[in-house]
């Protein structure tokens, strides 16, 4: 397989003005007739170019140009393209092809999910439907007719507005949809099935009534309210915050069970993984409710950031994804809590994206090349891309950012744009030069910033020096990297609270009434900032709100960390200080574990946690977040060499110690939060459950029967899935429970919920994550369970994905059996669903961070995958790059 390079981008030789499609649906022999109005692209200036259309796994039935059938001498069909060497400047191309939806297990193109037909065309799936210029800079108006048996497929949907329906000559029924907005093929969608829907309306700010429909299987009709509410909130929010209004007369969402990702923003017809749309209290956890809210909003926001203004090529993916993640994060923060949302986002970024940035698949937010684009729907493109947009927001301020976004949307409406276009709009709107800033798009790796300081009591000056560097990544050595433009939001903390800030050489800002916050702009390899009028030796609070995706190092004392935890004005920094303190304490235990010394848990941490637990004025959500020790994944990310056993031991040890030392406070908080109140997904109700269940996870670490009974009672009496699953998780992880007690809890749970696929998935995840010995054997049993189906990505993620990423002590067994298990599953999935196979590889790609013994075993597993003769491009790219 060969790489494709951004530097080789060329405009398309041809444009497709109009696309007419006619589908005659059949499980194994669907007929697709296409009529394309094509003309040469004057801007390409390639007057003699042949017509080359993408096409894969298509059975060609007939071809014609301007009504004249082409004989096989007039064209060439390969496995990936159809070439017609001589065509006029403007012509009508018609083709009939046959495709096999029920045999399509890759879930790209047209496929069957349970009883329905659906499509997934991003990034390059449309070429599995018919011959086409399947690239995002070819935008066309679509007219789509679907013909199918009315009894089996009463609902026939595509993009845009329904313009005709009725009985076809064949006796089947048909529906014709017209999408007036030009779009690339990746936004095409088709759905056919027996579906019910819930309907609502939304009146836009300009007074247009939009019909909103969510289509689901009838058994799920009672799980649509939250998605509908979220959709309406998102529509209103986009009008209010970005001035963006919906454009078609109808907006539809369809829930499907078999889906490679979370959801897809097809124009007017979003297709969702059931896990990201269905929710009701009895079956869905609070995290599930919040995921639905954010994914519904994300896909809706794409209607502008992605659809009305799309990407010129797939290297620009972050143009739509980074910006849309930024928009959905702003939305979720506005709907819930700014600080909680920031902590959650930063946890994901620092744990998973930083790990990606430090591994063999590291790439810039705009990758310079790829073999398979599906491999680049990454945390870097999405989450780091969002952080980059967030830094522009910080540097420009909210008002200039909005002016820039207005300019971007108005200037590029109906176009396929680039990251340069986005940055140029932001520069023009603000008058700021972002040239250096754009290095965030082209240089991979997580920058490291080292802060050091001095305080001069006599002059009242405080001097802060910041030095930046960026490690070597696959595309560039550390020495070749140029300094980034890094916004560092910060403050100074004194004995009684935050100190006023006066930077030398910078007049005080009369427009701000908050003089305790400043954004420093680090642009040089090393820079010094002098603060004046500092009346006491301060503690710097650096990177407030996590203002840049960097690893910032300052040598804090543990006392300074507890001061920030209890007194800083920024909630994020308080949480972050708590994490830092916990990391230090965990590292003490890890060191003792390795050196066979006595274990000691710093009483500072116990005291800090006690203070948090008894302070009833604190936000419960923040208390819960602060009480959660850094995860094993985060501790692995920050380690130079991952010591699997030491990390696991230290975390367990400190948890047990805290549980014992704080048992009275924990019990009091549990009892106080275990109130019976009507269910709600308000931020405060979620916070309350989050605190209660965090506390339960500590209580279960104590070896007392009462606490096991507490978990059993919670499981038995729960009226919502958050509490029920927390009860189950506590029991199956408890060292006190007997095997029989764990089995009873699991069996009863399964019997209760076996008809609810999404609940069963959570039941699978809970088991795959149990860290007790024998995890691999339990997972091998789970893949034989009737609830498991290797063709369903949600099941694969729930068992294999959860085990390999969320259960390090069992996956990284010393004998390498976990690695061999994963390689076996990848080889099966490579044939069925290459995208899923490739994503599952992630834990193996991190082999360089482990001890020599594990390195060899992990590489052996990767080599075994690489030796497979029929390796998909997806898997080949990840395995070969990670072995380099
Ligand atoms: N834009 C969507 C991407 C997507 C996707 C990509 C590759 C393979 C399958 C996929 N399903 C959806 C999702 C989003 O970011 O909104
Ligand atoms: Zn997206």
- Residue 676: the pLDDT is 73
- Residue 388: the pLDDT is 99
C-beta of 265 in contact with ligand 1 (< 6 A): yes
C-beta of 107 in contact with ligand 1 (< 6 A): no
∠ CA 719-721-722, rounded to 5°: 105
Helix (H) or strand (E) holding 322: helix 317-335
List the structure tokens of 264: 């897809």
Å from CA of 41 to ligand 2 middle: 29
Q: Specify the ligand 1 atom closest to the Cα of 325.
A: 15
Residue 304, phi then psi, degrees to nearest 5: -100, -55
Q: Specify the ligand 1 atom closest to the Cα of 125.
A: 8
List the structure tokens of 312: 């010129």
Name the residue of 134, 187, 188, 261 to mutate for ligand 1: max ligand atoms within 8 A of Cβ: 261
DSSP 279: -
- In angstroms, the CA 363 to CA 368 distance is 8
- 798 CB-near residues (< 8 Å, 6+ apart): 761, 762, 764, 765, 768
Whether the pTM exceeds 0.95: the reply is yes
Å from CA of 317 to ligand 2 middle: 9
- In angstroms, the CA 418 to CA 551 distance is 29
- 69 CB-near residues (< 8 Å, 6+ apart): 62, 63
Q: Specify the ligand 1 atom closest to the Cα of 259.
A: 11
Query: Which residue lies with its CA nearest to atom 13 of ligand 1?
Result: 264
Query: Which residue lies with its CA nearest to atom 2 of ligand 1?
Result: 264
C-beta of 260 in contact with ligand 1 (< 6 A): yes
Query: Which residue lies with its CA nearest to atom 15 of ligand 1?
Result: 321
433 in Cβ contact with 427 (< 8 Å): yes
List the structure tokens of 263: 């959801």
- Residue 703: the pLDDT is 80
C-beta of 140 in contact with ligand 1 (< 6 A): no
ipTM, two decimals: 0.99
Q: Specify the ligand 1 atom closest to the Cα of 835.
A: 8
Compute the residue count for the chain: 884
Q: At what angle do helices 739-753 and 757-768 cross, to 10 degrees?
A: 160
Q: The tokens 């995860």 sit on which residue?
A: 631
Residue 451, phi then psi, degrees to nearest 5: -110, 135
- Residue 675: the pLDDT is 78
Ligand number, closest to the Cα atom of 305: 2
Name the 3-class secondary structure at 367.
Answer: coil
Tell me if residue 299 is catalytic. Answer: yes
- Residue 119: the pLDDT is 99
CB atoms within 10 A of CB 678: 7
C-beta of 321 in contact with ligand 1 (< 6 A): yes
List the structure tokens of 744: 């009873």
Residue 111, phi then psi, degrees to nearest 5: -145, 170
Å from CA of 755 to ligand 1 middle: 28
List the structure tokens of 803: 């085990």
**Ordered domains of the chain (ranges, CATH):** 4-194 (2.60.40.1730), 310-435 (1.10.390.10), 448-567 (2.60.40.1840), 754-884 (1.25.50.10)
C-beta of 120 in contact with ligand 1 (< 6 A): yes
Chunk the chain into consecutive blocks of 10 residues (it has 884) and report each block's average pLDDT, rounded to whole numbers: 98 98 98 99 97 98 98 96 98 98 98 98 99 99 98 98 97 98 99 99 98 98 98 99 98 98 99 99 98 99 99 99 99 98 98 98 98 98 99 98 99 99 99 99 98 98 98 97 98 97 85 87 98 98 98 98 97 98 98 97 98 96 98 98 98 98 97 86 95 98 93 97 98 97 98 98 99 98 98 99 98 98 99 98 98 98 98 98 97
C-beta of 757 in contact with ligand 1 (< 6 A): no
- 169 CB-near residues (< 8 Å, 6+ apart): none
- In angstroms, the CA 430 to CA 257 distance is 45
List the structure tokens of 428: 């023009």
Burial 487-511 (b: 16+ CB within 10 A, else e): bbbbbbbbeeebbebbeeeeeeeee
- Residue 507: the pLDDT is 78
Å from CA of 260 to ligand 1 middle: 8
Query: Which residue lies with its CA nearest to atom 11 of ligand 1?
Result: 261
- Residue 519: the pLDDT is 98
- Residue 674: the pLDDT is 83
- In angstroms, the CA 62 to CA 71 distance is 9
Neighbours of ion ligand 2 (CB under 5 A): 321, 324
Å from CA of 414 to ligand 1 middle: 21
Q: Specify the ligand 1 atom closest to the Cα of 298.
A: 16
Å from CA of 263 to ligand 1 middle: 6
310 in Cβ contact with 713 (< 8 Å): no
Ligand number, closest to the Cα atom of 263: 1
Dihedral-angle region of residue 66 (phi above 0 means left; psi in -120 to 50 means alpha; beta otherwise): left
Nearest to 862 by CA among 878, 843, 838, 879: 879
- Of 299, 387, 632, 756, the active-site residue reads 299
C-beta of 122 in contact with ligand 1 (< 6 A): yes
């Amino acid at each position: 397989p060969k790489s494709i390079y951004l530097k080789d981008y060329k405009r398309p030789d041809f444009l497709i003005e109009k696309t007419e499609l006619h589908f005659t649906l059949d499980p194994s022999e669907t007929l697709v007739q296409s009529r394309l109005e094509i003309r040469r692209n004057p801007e390409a200036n390639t007057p003699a170019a042949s017509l080359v259309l993408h096409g894969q796994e298509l059975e060609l039935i007939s071809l014609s140009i301007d009504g004249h059938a082409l004989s096989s001498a007039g064209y060439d069909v390969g496995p990936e393209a159809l070439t017609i060497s001589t065509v006029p400047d403007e012509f009508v191309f018609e083709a009939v092809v046959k495709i096999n939806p029920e045999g399509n297990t890759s879930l790209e193109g047209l496929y069957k999910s349970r009883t329905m037909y659906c499509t997934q065309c991003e990034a390059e799936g449309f070429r599995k439907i018919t011959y086409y210029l399947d690239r995002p800079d070819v935008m066309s108006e679509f007219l789509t007719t679907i013909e199918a048996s009315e009894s089996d497929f009463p609902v026939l949907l595509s993009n845009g507005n329904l313009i005709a329906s009725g009985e076809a000559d064949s006796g089947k029924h048909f529906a014709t949809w017209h999408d007036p907005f030009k779009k690339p093929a990746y936004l095409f969608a088709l759905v056919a099935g027996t579906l019910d829907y819930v309907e609502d309306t939304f009146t836009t700010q300009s007074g247009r009534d939009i019909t909103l429909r969510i289509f689901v299987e009838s058994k799920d009709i009672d799980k649509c309210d939250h998605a509908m509410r979220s959709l309406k909130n998102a529509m209103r929010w986009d009008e209010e915050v970005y001035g963006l209004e919906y454009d078609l007369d109808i907006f539809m969402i369809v829930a499907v069970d078999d889906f490679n990702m979370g959801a897809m923003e097809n124009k007017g017809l979003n297709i969702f993984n059931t896990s990201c749309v269905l929710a009701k209290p009895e079956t869905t956890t609070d995290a599930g409710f919040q995921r639905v809210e954010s994914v519904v909003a994300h896909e809706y926001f794409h209607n502008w950031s992605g659809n009305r203004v799309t990407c010129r090529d797939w290297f620009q993916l972050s143009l739509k994804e980074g910006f849309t993640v930024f928009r959905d994060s702003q939305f979720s923060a506005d709907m819930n809590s700014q600080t909680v949302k920031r902590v959650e986002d930063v946890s994901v970024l620092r744990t998973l994206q930083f790990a990606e940035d430090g591994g063999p698949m590291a790439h810039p937010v705009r990758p310079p090349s790829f073999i398979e684009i599906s491999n680049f729907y990454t945390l870097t493109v999405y989450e780091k891309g969002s952080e980059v947009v967030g830094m522009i927001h910080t540097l420009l301020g909210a008002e200039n950012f909005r002016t820039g976004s207005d300019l971007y949307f108005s200037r590029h409406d109906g176009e396929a744009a680039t990251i340069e276009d986005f940055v140029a709009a932001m520069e023009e709107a603000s008058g700021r030069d972002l040239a250096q800033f754009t290095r965030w798009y082209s240089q991979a790796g997580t920058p490291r910033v080292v802060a050091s300081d001095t305080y001069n009591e006599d002059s009242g000056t405080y001097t802060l020096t910041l030095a930046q560097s960026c490690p070597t990544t696959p595309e560039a050595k550390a020495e070749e990297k140029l300094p980034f433009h890094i916004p560092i939001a910060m403050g100074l903390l004194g004995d009684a609270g935050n100190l006023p800030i006066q930077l030398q050489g910078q007049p005080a800002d009369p427009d701000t009434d908050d003089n305790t916050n400043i954004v420093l702009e680090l642009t040089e390899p090393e820079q010094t900032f002098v603060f004046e009028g500092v009346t006491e030796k301060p503690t710097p609070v650096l990177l407030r709100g996590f203002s840049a995706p960097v690893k910032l190092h300052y040598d804090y004392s543990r006392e300074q960390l507890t001061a920030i935890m209890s007194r800083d004005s920024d909630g994020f920094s308080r949480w972050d200080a708590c994490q830092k303190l916990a990391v230090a304490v965990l590292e003490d235990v890890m060191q003792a574990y390795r050196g066979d010394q006595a274990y000691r848990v710093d009483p500072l941490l116990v005291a800090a946690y006690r203070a948090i637990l008894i302070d009833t004025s604190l936000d419960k959500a923040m208390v819960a977040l602060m009480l959660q020790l850094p995860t094993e994944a985060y501790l692995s990310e920050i380690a130079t060499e991952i010591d699997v056993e030491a990390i696991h031991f230290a975390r367990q040890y400190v948890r047990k110690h805290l549980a014992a030392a704080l048992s009275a406070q924990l019990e009091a908080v549990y009892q106080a939060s275990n109130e019976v109140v009507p269910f709600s997904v308000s931020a405060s109700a979620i916070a309350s459950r989050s605190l209660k269940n965090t506390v339960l996870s500590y209580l279960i670490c104590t070896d007392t029967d009462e606490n096991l009974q507490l978990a059993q009672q919670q499981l038995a009496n729960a009226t919502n899935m958050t509490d029920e699953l927390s009860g189950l998780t506590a029991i199956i992880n408890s060292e006190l429970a007997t095997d029989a007690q764990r089995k009873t809890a699991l069996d009863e749970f399964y019997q209760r919920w076996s008809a609810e696929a999404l609940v069963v998935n959570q039941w699978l995840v809970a088991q795959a994550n149990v860290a007790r010995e024998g995890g691999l054997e339990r997972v091998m049993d789970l893949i034989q369970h009737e609830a498991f189906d290797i063709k369903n990505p949600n099941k694969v993620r729930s068992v294999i994905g959860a085990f390999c990423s969320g259960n390090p002590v069992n996956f990284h067994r010393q004998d390498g059996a976990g690695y061999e298990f994963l390689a076996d599953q990848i080889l099966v999935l490579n044939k069925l669903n290459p995208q899923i196979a490739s994503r599952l590889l992630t834990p193996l790609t991190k082999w360089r961070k482990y001890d020599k013994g594990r390195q060899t075993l992990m590489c052996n597993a990767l080599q075994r995958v690489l030796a497979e003769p029929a390796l998909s491009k997806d898997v080949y790219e990840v395995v070969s790059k990670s072995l380099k």
